[in-house]
């Protein structure tokens, strides 16, 4: 994210996360946001999947 947060996206059943490791793109919506169950992400290899869930990843420091 622009503010340096890291977000994980869970994809719909039947989609392989491996297809998206080399990058993906999103068609810009009218409101400029990526929403669960509404928008799809597309991989460079041609796969298209809906996002079913977003999670924020937080670095946990061990001392």
Question: Two tokens at 42?
Answer: 């597309």
Residue 52 gets which letter from DSSP? Answer: E
Pairing of strands 48-57, 40-43: antiparallel
Q: What is the pLDDT of residues 2-37, one digit of tens each?
A: 788 898 989 999 998 889 888 889 888 899 898 998
pTM: 0.70
pLDDT of residue 32: 87
Exposure letters 27-58 (e unless 16+ CB within 10 A, then b):
eeeeeeebeeeeebbbbeeebebbbeeeeeee
Whole-number Å distance between alpha carbons of 58 and 15: 25
Q: Does pLDDT of 53 surpass 90?
A: yes
pLDDT of residue 2: 79
């Amino acid at each position: 994210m622009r503010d340096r947060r890291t977000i994980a996206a869970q994809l719909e059943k039947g989609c392989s996360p491996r297809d998206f490791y080399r990058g993906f793109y999103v068609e810009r919506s009218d409101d400029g946001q990526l929403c669960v169950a509404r928008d799809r992400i597309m991989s460079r290899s041609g796969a298209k999947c809906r996002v079913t869930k977003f999670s924020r990843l937080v670095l946990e420091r061990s001392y």
